[in-house]
């Protein structure tokens, strides 16, 4: 089964003092685990969200990585009853490079007394030890509970329609203000000749800087009509390569283009007068 057909789609005991905050274990998970967790903010207003997830899997697959899609978005399939006890039995192998876990409503089953669901990430890693990359496709609220105060860099999803753009900005606002996730990326579903795509990225970047103190670090445009067999675009390849680096904020051989960081910088410092009041 292809992901685009879907909805829309760690740490032993140590004799040391208790952590000073609830994010301590999550920080150690990111620091030492082989698996790379990528939070993807679901957007029910994106018409081809499944295509975007498929493109992400293809990009990581080019690096020889096996990707597990944890599908916990607002319109994703509900989790199986046995997922809380035998999660590994609910993981579907779709191909040599992609697995899938229907997970709507599942993360909240792992909430602790502090409101964190970070332990869900440990459970996922245990259930799919073969996965190199785990895409956590979930609402901004769910991602806040899982990744608060971590080194994660959420990926926003949107297309070139106003409702999806507003939803993506609202997701960024929530994750910035509630979870302290300041740096974000954007995957924008739009035809190659869309006159609005670059302007949308500029506007989101400007509003992030002006109203949230957040950063839209990079954006990638994806043609929703792309055939699943086509190779990833150079921009998506670059994004996947950087995401797999040991630290999310590190970039090597990074060449900004007019459709990437250069445009975002111009937006943040030269297009404020035209930014929408999305706050």
Report helix, strand or coil for 222.
strand
C-alpha 41/C-alpha 142 separation (Å) is: 9
pLDDT at site 24:
57
- CATH number of the domain residue 34 falls in: 3.40.50.300
Is position 15 within any domain? Answer: no
Domains of the chain: total: 1
Q: Containing H/E element for 168?
A: helix 162-179
Residue with tokens 């009853």: 81
Is position 17 within any domain? Answer: no
HEC profile for 104-160? ECCHHHHCCCCCCCCHHHHHHHHHCCCCCEEEEEECHHHHHHHHCCCCCCCEEEEEC
Is position 131 within any domain? Answer: yes
pLDDT at site 122:
95
Check if the beta carbon of residue 168 is closer than 8 Å to that of residue 45: no
Q: Where are the beta strands (DSSP E) in the chain?
A: 36-41, 67-72, 92-93, 98-102, 133-138, 155-159, 183-189, 215-222
The secondary structure of residue 214, as a DSSP letter, is -
The secondary structure of residue 22, as a DSSP letter, is T
pLDDT at site 228:
81
Taking only the tens of pLDDT, the chain with its 279 residues reads 444 445 444 333 333 344 445 555 555 544 445 799 999 999 999 999 999 999 999 999 999 999 999 999 999 999 999 999 999 999 999 999 999 999 999 999 999 999 999 999 999 999 999 999 999 999 999 999 999 999 999 999 999 999 999 999 999 999 999 999 999 999 999 999 999 999 999 999 999 999 999 999 999 999 999 988 899 999 999 999 999 998 653 222 223 333 333 334 343 444 444 444 444
Is position 141 within any domain? Answer: yes
Check if the beta carbon of residue 66 is closer than 8 Å to that of residue 131: yes
How big is the CA angle at 5 (ends 63 and 189), to the nearest 5 degrees? Answer: 65
In order of 168, 240, 243, 250, 272, the CA distances from 208 in angstroms are 11, 23, 21, 21, 11
pLDDT at site 34:
78
73-106 burial: b if 16+ Cβ within 10 Å, else e: beebbebbeebeeebeebbeebeebbbbbbbbeb
Q: Which domain holds residue 114?
A: 3-7+22-274
C-alpha 137/C-alpha 235 separation (Å) is: 21
Report helix, strand or coil for 181.
coil
Is position 14 within any domain? Answer: no
Residue with tokens 């990585």: 65
Residues 6+ apart with CB under 8 A from 255: 238
């Amino acid at each position: 089964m292809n992901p685009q057909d879907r909805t829309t789609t760690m740490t032993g005991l140590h004799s040391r003092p208790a952590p000073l905050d609830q994010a301590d274990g999550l920080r150690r998970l990111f620091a030492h685990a082989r698996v790379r967790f990528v939070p993807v903010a679901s957007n029910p207003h994106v018409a081809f969200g499944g295509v975007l997830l498929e493109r992400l899997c293809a990009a990581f697959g080019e690096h020889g990585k096996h990707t597990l899609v944890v599908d916990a978005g607002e319109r994703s399939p509900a989790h199986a009853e046995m997922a809380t006890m035998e999660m590994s039995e609910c993981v579907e192998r779709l191909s040599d490079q992609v697995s899938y876990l229907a997970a709507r409503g599942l993360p909240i089953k792992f909430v602790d007394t502090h409101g964190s669901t970070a332990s869900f990430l440990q459970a996922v890693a245990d259930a799919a030890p073969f996965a190199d990359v785990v895409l956590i496709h979930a609402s901004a609220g769910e991602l806040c509970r899982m990744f608060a105060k971590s080194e994660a860099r959420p990926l926003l999803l949107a297309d070139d329609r106003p409702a999806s753009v507003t939803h993506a900005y609202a997701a960024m606002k929530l994750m910035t203000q509630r979870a302290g996730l300041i740096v974000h990326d954007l995957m924008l579903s739009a035809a190659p000749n869309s006159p609005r795509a670059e302007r949308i990225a500029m506007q989101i970047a400007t509003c992030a800087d002006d109203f949230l103190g957040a950063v839209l670090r990079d954006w990638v445009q994806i043609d929703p009509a792309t055939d699943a067999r086509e190779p990833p675009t150079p921009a998506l390849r670059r994004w996947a390569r950087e995401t797999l680096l040991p630290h999310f904020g590190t970039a090597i051989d990074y060449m900004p283009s007019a459709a990437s960081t250069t445009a975002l910088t111009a937006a943040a410092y030269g297009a404020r007068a035209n930014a929408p009041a999305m706050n």
